């Protein structure tokens, strides 16, 4: 009985983590995978270039082009092409 409960608990935990994880690429977590990119479930260097905790180019805390806090092209707060809030972006950033 205990084995069944343990297996069910682990299965439920893995399914919930997998469904919420999305596809991480640098600071961005996408609803769908983008063609030509490889994705990992764990960010190896969040403070490096493009990392979720980086203030550099493409970083999650960056206000520059492609940054997570940017309103410019490809930025996380942008409604423009490739932006995180662009409803026409098929690979839009997961909320």
**Whole-number pLDDT of residue 18:** 46
Q: What is the mean pLDDT of residues 47-56?
A: 87
**Whole-number pLDDT of residue 95:** 66
pLDDT digits (tens, 9 = 90+) for 60-71: 899 998 899 999
pTM over 0.85: no
| pLDDT at 15 exceeding the cut of 50 | no
Contact between residue 78 and residue 84 where contact means Cβ atoms under 8 Å apart: yes
Q: How far apart are CA 62 and CA 54, in angstroms?
A: 7
CB atoms within 10 A of CB 67: 25
**Whole-number pLDDT of residue 12:** 58
What residue has token string 């493409």? 58
**Whole-number pLDDT of residue 90:** 78
Domain ranges of the chain: 23-32+45-95
**What per-residue string of b and e applies to 26-45 under the rule 16 or more CB within 10 Å gives b?**
bbbbbeeeeeeeeeeeebee
């Amino acid at each position: 009985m205990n084995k069944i409960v343990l297996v069910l608990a682990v299965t439920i935990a893995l399914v919930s983590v997998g469904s919420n994880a999305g596809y991480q690429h640098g600071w961005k977590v996408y609803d769908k995978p983008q063609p030509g990119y490889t994705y990992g479930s764990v960010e190896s260097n969040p403070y490096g270039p493009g990392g979720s905790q980086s203030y550099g180019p493409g970083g999650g805390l960056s206000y520059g082009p492609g940054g997570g806090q940017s309103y410019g092209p490809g930025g996380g707060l942008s409604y423009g092409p490739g932006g995180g809030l662009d409803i026409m972006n098929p690979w839009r950033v997961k909320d």
